[in-house]
Amino acid sequence: MAHAVFQSSSLSCSSSADFSKISAKASNIFGSQLRSQEIEQAHLRFLDYFKRNPTVKLKAVMGSSGLAQETIDNKPKVAGVTDEASNHFKELRQRFLGFKKDKYLGNLEHYRRLSEAQAPKFMVIACADSRVCPSSILGFQPGEAFVVRNVANLVPPHENGPSETNAALEFAVNSLEVENILVIGHSCCGGIKALMSLQDEAVSSSFIRNWVVVGKPARLKTKEAASNLNFDQQCRHCEKESINRSLLNLLTYPWIEERVIRGSLSIHGGYYDFIDCTFEKWTLDYRGSGFLTDSEYSIKNREFWS
């Protein structure tokens, strides 16, 4: 499988040296059916095309040979970036082989069972922030937690319709039958800062803006409760408020509420402060219908790990 993609761009491709590479690449891409004369004709057509369209660049994507992708343009190659990326992957390779040697091969029976099925007890919703990986800070091992991460660890209410977060929830709750849902927020959350910075009437095409607006009720409650605090303190307040709002939003899904009523599913909040490395954990205390009105909720089993 291979395909070529032409994109309009401010870059041009007119170097004959570069074009030789394109031609050679085309021969590989399209296979041996192309005879040399046909390749040469294609070469000339490409060259003519690029001369007439100097603002076009060519991307050649080869699927079957390892997802190699090459963009040809007249920008100087940044060798340092390529070398750095290569080093990063060398590091990842070492880590993977270390995992395989130390964990996988040392627990073959466990991983054999995991290859057949998963039965995690936890569904975790955490922020996409690179500093708050749930597996790193809470030690979840493969098979222990079904995890979805999004900007600001938000759970949209049922009425908002499909999203990748509620798709993951549906699978975790209805198919995997997890026993706990844990929403983890964290300190210095950029998504919450974006939420708190929203201009009320702003219309924006920003994907971030249009996602974090899900947390607007938490923002409103923060503004009411913490208007005397400075902006950073309000953000910190909202980081926790939005977790509770997400816990309440979980109950807007009938298949979640039904399990919570039955006692087969518990929903919890967690707050990871990576400045002083502490973790706060609590559980939503479900009290039946009518519970969702306004801000009526209570929590139980609060713990502070430091």
Residue 235 annotated as binding site: no
For the bound state, the minimum distance from the C-beta of residue 145 to Zn ion, rounded and expressed in Å, comes to 18
Residue 129 annotated as binding site: yes
| Distance from C-alpha of 193 to C-alpha of 206, rounded to nearest angstrom | 15
Q: Between residue 43 and residue 72, which ones bind Zn ion under the rule CB under 5 A?
A: none
For the bound state, the minimum distance from the C-beta of residue 230 to Zn ion, rounded and expressed in Å, comes to 20
Instruction: Match 């996988």 to its residue by tokens.
Output: 104
- CB-nearer residue toward Zn ion: 158 or 193: 193
264 vs 24, 241, 256, 285, CA distance in Å?
61, 25, 10, 14
The single residue among 129, 150, 195, 251 that binds Zn ion, judged by CB under 5 A, is 129
For the bound state, the minimum distance from the C-beta of residue 151 to Zn ion, rounded and expressed in Å, comes to 7
The CA-to-CA distance between both ends of the chain, in Å, stands at 53
Q: Does 124 bind Zn ion (CB under 5 A)?
A: no
Neighbour-count burial for 47-77, b at 16+ CB within 10 Å, e otherwise: beebeeeeeebbebebeeeeeeeeebbeeee
Q: Does 127 bind Zn ion (CB under 5 A)?
A: yes
- CB-nearer residue toward Zn ion: 145 or 173: 145
For the bound state, the minimum distance from the C-beta of residue 192 to Zn ion, rounded and expressed in Å, comes to 6
Q: Does 218 bind Zn ion (CB under 5 A)?
A: no
Of 222, 141, 150, 144, nearest in space to 183 by CA = 150
Two structure tokens written together for 155: 């759970």
- CB-nearer residue toward Zn ion: 130 or 289: 130
Q: Between residue 172 and residue 201, which ones bind Zn ion under the rule CB under 5 A?
A: 189, 191
Side chain identity, residue 286: Y
Residue 48 annotated as binding site: no
Two structure tokens written together for 55: 């603002």
For the bound state, the minimum distance from the C-beta of residue 57 to Zn ion, rounded and expressed in Å, comes to 35
Outline where the chain has alpha helix (H): 16-30, 36-52, 79-99, 108-116, 134-138, 164-170, 190-196, 207-212, 216-225, 231-250, 254-262
Compute how many other C-beta atoms are within 10 angstroms of the C-beta atom of residue 257: 20
Residue 133 annotated as binding site: no
- CB-nearer residue toward Zn ion: 29 or 238: 238
List interacting residues with Zn ion (CB under 5 A).
127, 129, 189, 191
Residues in binding site: 127, 129, 186, 189
Q: Which residues line the annotated binding site for Zn(2+)?
A: 127, 129, 186, 189
